[in-house]
Protein backbone atom coordinates (compact mmCIF):
# COMPACT_ATOMS: atom_id res chain seq x y z
CA UNK A 1 0.00 0.00 0.00
CA UNK A 2 1.30 3.41 -0.95
CA UNK A 3 0.57 6.27 1.43
CA UNK A 4 0.84 9.96 0.55
CA UNK A 5 0.51 12.59 3.26
CA UNK A 6 -0.23 16.26 2.62
CA UNK A 7 -1.24 19.26 4.76
CA UNK A 8 -3.47 22.09 3.59
CA UNK A 9 -3.99 24.68 6.33
CA UNK A 10 -5.31 22.68 9.31
CA UNK A 11 -6.40 19.69 7.24
CA UNK A 12 -4.38 16.48 6.99
CA UNK A 13 -4.89 14.63 3.71
CA UNK A 14 -4.02 10.93 3.61
CA UNK A 15 -4.06 9.37 0.13
CA UNK A 16 -4.01 5.58 0.03
CA UNK A 17 -3.39 3.20 -2.85
CA UNK A 18 -3.97 -0.56 -2.93
CA UNK A 19 -5.81 -2.76 -0.43
CA UNK A 20 -6.66 -1.36 3.01
CA UNK A 21 -6.50 -4.62 4.94
CA UNK A 22 -5.02 -6.28 8.03
CA UNK A 23 -1.53 -6.22 6.55
CA UNK A 24 -1.58 -2.45 5.94
CA UNK A 25 -3.89 -1.24 8.72
CA UNK A 26 -1.27 -0.87 11.48
CA UNK A 27 1.09 1.15 9.29
CA UNK A 28 -1.73 3.48 8.23
CA UNK A 29 -2.94 3.78 11.84
CA UNK A 30 0.48 4.69 13.24
CA UNK A 31 1.37 7.16 10.46
CA UNK A 32 -1.99 8.90 10.70
CA UNK A 33 -1.90 9.07 14.50
CA UNK A 34 1.59 10.54 14.42
CA UNK A 35 0.42 13.34 12.13
CA UNK A 36 -2.84 13.89 14.06
CA UNK A 37 -0.80 14.68 17.18
CA UNK A 38 0.54 17.83 15.55
CA UNK A 39 -1.21 20.86 17.05
CA UNK A 40 -2.23 22.54 13.80
CA UNK A 41 -4.03 19.43 12.50
CA UNK A 42 -7.76 19.63 13.10
CA UNK A 43 -9.43 17.92 10.14
CA UNK A 44 -8.73 14.72 8.21
CA UNK A 45 -9.45 13.82 4.61
CA UNK A 46 -8.99 10.14 3.82
CA UNK A 47 -8.64 9.78 0.05
CA UNK A 48 -9.63 6.26 -1.01
CA UNK A 49 -9.67 7.01 -4.74
CA UNK A 50 -7.02 4.35 -5.47
CA UNK A 51 -8.11 1.81 -2.85
CA UNK A 52 -9.50 -1.41 -4.30
CA UNK A 53 -10.61 -3.13 -1.07
CA UNK A 54 -11.24 -2.42 2.62
CA UNK A 55 -11.59 -5.16 5.26
CA UNK A 56 -12.65 -4.97 8.91
CA UNK A 57 -9.15 -3.91 9.98
CA UNK A 58 -9.31 -0.97 7.59
CA UNK A 59 -12.78 -0.07 8.85
CA UNK A 60 -11.43 -0.15 12.40
CA UNK A 61 -8.67 2.28 11.47
CA UNK A 62 -11.21 4.63 9.91
CA UNK A 63 -13.46 4.58 13.00
CA UNK A 64 -10.50 5.06 15.33
CA UNK A 65 -9.22 8.07 13.38
CA UNK A 66 -12.75 9.49 13.32
CA UNK A 67 -12.80 9.38 17.14
CA UNK A 68 -9.38 11.05 17.37
CA UNK A 69 -10.47 13.85 15.03
CA UNK A 70 -13.67 14.31 17.05
CA UNK A 71 -11.57 14.72 20.23
CA UNK A 72 -9.84 17.65 18.49
CA UNK A 73 -13.26 19.15 17.59
CA UNK A 74 -12.40 18.55 13.97
CA UNK A 75 -14.09 16.87 11.04
CA UNK A 76 -13.23 13.81 8.99
CA UNK A 77 -14.15 13.16 5.39
CA UNK A 78 -13.72 10.26 2.98
CA UNK A 79 -13.26 11.11 -0.68
CA UNK A 80 -13.12 9.21 -3.95
CA UNK A 81 -14.31 5.81 -2.73
CA UNK A 82 -14.72 3.41 -5.65
CA UNK A 83 -18.16 1.69 -5.87
CA UNK A 84 -17.01 -1.54 -4.17
CA UNK A 85 -15.33 0.40 -1.34
CA UNK A 86 -18.29 2.78 -1.01
CA UNK A 87 -20.58 -0.24 -0.67
CA UNK A 88 -18.42 -1.59 2.20
CA UNK A 89 -18.48 1.83 3.90
CA UNK A 90 -22.27 2.00 3.52
CA UNK A 91 -22.93 -1.55 4.73
CA UNK A 92 -20.72 -0.94 7.78
CA UNK A 93 -22.51 2.35 8.56
CA UNK A 94 -19.32 4.41 8.43
CA UNK A 95 -20.94 6.72 5.89
CA UNK A 96 -23.31 7.84 8.69
CA UNK A 97 -20.33 9.00 10.78
CA UNK A 98 -17.92 10.15 8.09
CA UNK A 99 -19.37 11.97 5.08
CA UNK A 100 -18.40 10.69 1.64
CA UNK A 101 -17.40 13.13 -1.11
CA UNK A 102 -16.36 12.68 -4.74
CA UNK A 103 -13.04 14.54 -4.45
CA UNK A 104 -10.82 16.62 -2.17
CA UNK A 105 -11.82 19.90 -3.82
CA UNK A 106 -15.45 19.44 -2.71
CA UNK A 107 -14.32 19.10 0.91
CA UNK A 108 -11.80 21.92 0.83
CA UNK A 109 -14.55 24.32 -0.36
CA UNK A 110 -16.44 23.77 2.91
DSSP string, 59-81: HHHHHHHHHHHHHTT--EEEE--
- Report the alpha-carbon distance of residue 74 to residue 104 in Å, rounded: 16
Q: Rg for the chain (alpha carbons), in Å? A: 12
Q: Predicted confidence band at 1 (pLDDT cuts at 50, 70, 90)?
A: low
* 57-99 pLDDT per residue, tens: 999 999 999 999 999 999 999 999 999 999 999 999 999 999 9
- Report the alpha-carbon distance of residue 74 to residue 32 in Å, rounded: 15
Say which CATH topology domain 2-108 has. Transcription Regulator spoIIAA (3.30.750)
Per-residue pLDDT at 102 exceeds 70 = yes
pLDDT, position 109: 84
Q: Is 40 helix (H, G, I), strand (E, B) or coil?
A: coil
pLDDT, position 38: 85
* 13-62 pLDDT per residue, tens: 999 999 999 999 999 999 999 999 988 899 999 999 999 999 999 999 99
Q: Is 54 exposed, middle or buried (0-12, 13-18, 19+ CB in 10 A)?
A: buried
pLDDT, position 101: 97
Residue 84 · residue 54 · CB < 8 Å: no
Amino acid sequence: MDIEIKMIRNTLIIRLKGEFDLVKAEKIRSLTDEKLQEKQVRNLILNLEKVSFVDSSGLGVIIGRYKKVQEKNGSMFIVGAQPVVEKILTLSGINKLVPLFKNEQEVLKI
